[in-house]
Structure 1
């Protein structure tokens, strides 16, 4: 890892994380929710990140995705049982609702400590979920102080570095940056219980064309890998080895963790079952009608619902 390459990657990340000079409606909604989170949890919050489809599409009417990085579980949750659950299986996902100037605002708020966030962005992590999220563009809506801001910048740079490493480990010896990203995103989606259509990765790449190419090249440079592009626009990073088994382990761990988090969300996410089926219908066209019993007992109903979704092709 070269210091110059690391500095360039962190500069790219800092520019992307910075709040826009003219925020759109979704960004304003994310700021409002962040202020409410800070008012309730205060010193327990180190930083708040805004990412996901609503950020990408500037859609304040949808369910915003916020990541709250806390200073500690007891500092944020205050009660010992929620703190324990989050320590054992982060992140805890909360449903946050507010009345905005333009109407109701809702968010899916994932909470974990800043230290947990940093650890799960390393290449050795068996949990691919978080680095797969934050190699994509995001905005740092709040940081408690310059030290927290710098730690988040470094963490997101690490997410990109981990993504680049796995992209070339699992990809062909030579490919364009887009081809490496396309293959990696397909793999990371395959390590989760996804309800998005198969063209999700294509839409992500098309939405931020100025991000993925430079980010991959700078991350490869940080790793000390070759970044020269041939006449056909292909990279030859020169990363050898067979990582099929390593990724297979991560795929199994990822799906298992997703199931466990869904079960935990049944206790922490208000209206969780209805949110899940509405998301499935929106992304796949598969409609599921929940019974009153299934709404009251989401954990007991989960195995049957999951079997139906897999049967109908709504999740992979």
Structure 2
């Protein structure tokens, strides 16, 4: 990893964050005393000054799933379909946190990932709010620093302006949004870059200067993105099904997120709470027809 990009990522992850988010990160880690290695804070809440009423997003990095859960079936679920996602409340704030092992966090930020969900997020700003020790810090930083080169390398053959670094970012984010079931309004991918173009210019130039990972070109690149998009949407549905077992109140969270991002007014019926998996799946056709998720 080139020194310039690694330095930028290190500084960004160490930048100040809301003290309540820092406290929440520590409280999440405390739930896994034998396994917790790092807690990262990411998402739109990073830009908010008032966190009340918002859903904060964290990743908990653990040494391995057996250490995190013991012999529980949750370890197998996390290993087979990473990550597991759980709700959390602390000091009046609400959040969700996703659990990944150190090995999976590194792999899913790299070109070896078979889906976009992790590197698409950590190519964006994040904060490293809690670490077990220096080795855990170095591991988390190295993994997160792989995200931007991964995104840009896959976006480059898909843009008509491969030397325009901001166009590369916008192309990459647009493609990743099509690789998940995202409850976002049209143009969200561009707004990510517009929120801090200088940041994306600096990170992009550093990634290009170090040399991007090799990626296919032309028809092969388009084929790879179709595969990522197909797999990503299947994984989104599978994770939704898994969350109905692991995430308390998951269907209410799903409705809240869609309403917040897509401007809809979905209300969950009692039977959907009673059978959350079936209830969540029945939302999908209506959401596709309405364009709330793509």
After superposition, residues 125-140 of structure 1 pair within 5 angstroms as 125-140=113-128
User: 1:8 aligned to 4, 15, 21, which one?
Assistant: 4
2:43 aligned partner: 52
User: 1:271 aligned to 249, 270, 273, which one?
Assistant: 249
Q: 1:122 to 1:28 in 2, by over 3 A?
A: same
Distance of 2:12 and 2:265 partners within structure 1: 37
1:39 Cα deviation (Å)? 2.3
After superposition, residues 16-95 of structure 1 pair within 5 angstroms as 16-20=12-16, 23=17, 27-61=18-52, 62-95=54-87
1:262 aligned partner: 240
User: 2:168 aligned to 180, 187, 190, which one?
Assistant: 180
1:217 Cα deviation (Å)? 1.3
**Mean Cα deviation higher: 281-290 or 246-255:** 281-290
1:209 Cα deviation (Å)? 2.4
1:233 aligned partner: none
Q: Could you say what secondary structure the match of 1:42 adopts?
A: coil
Q: 1:224 to 1:158 in 2, by over 3 A?
A: closer
From the CA coordinates, give the structure whose radius of gyration is larger.
Answer: 1
On the 8 A contact 1:131/1:159 being kept in 2, the answer is: yes
- Unaligned segments of structure 2, at least 5 residues: none
Q: 1:239 to 1:267 in 2, by over 3 A?
A: closer
On the 8 A contact 2:251/2:280 being kept in 1, the answer is: no
User: 2:104 aligned to 116, 121, 128, which one?
Assistant: 116
**Mean Cα deviation higher: 29-38 or 134-143:** 29-38
For each residue in 1:168-226, what CA deviation from the matched residue of structure 2 results, as whole angstroms up to 9, or x when unmatched?
1221254522211111111000000011111222322122223111111111222269x
Residue 155, structure 1, aligned to residue 143, structure 2: yes
Distance of 1:239 and 1:247 partners within structure 2: 10
1:229 aligned partner: none
Distance of 1:87 and 1:300 partners within structure 2: 24
2:211 aligned partner: 223
Distance of 2:62 and 2:182 partners within structure 1: 27
TM-score (norm 2): 0.94
Distance of 1:203 and 1:173 partners within structure 2: 19
1:306 aligned partner: 284
Residues matched between the structures, number = 292
Distance of 2:177 and 2:270 partners within structure 1: 31
On the 8 A contact 1:17/1:140 being kept in 2, the answer is: yes
Distance of 2:51 and 2:187 partners within structure 1: 23
On the 8 A contact 1:19/1:141 being kept in 2, the answer is: no
On the 8 A contact 2:108/2:118 being kept in 1, the answer is: yes
Displaced runs of 4+ in structure 1, greater than 6 A? none
Distance of 2:259 and 2:212 partners within structure 1: 44
Residue 208, structure 1, aligned to residue 196, structure 2: yes
1:281 Cα deviation (Å)? 1.2
1:284 aligned partner: 262
Q: 1:38 to 1:173 in 2, by over 3 A?
A: closer
Q: Could you say what secondary structure the match of 2:40 adopts?
A: strand
- Unaligned segments of structure 1, at least 5 residues: 226-237
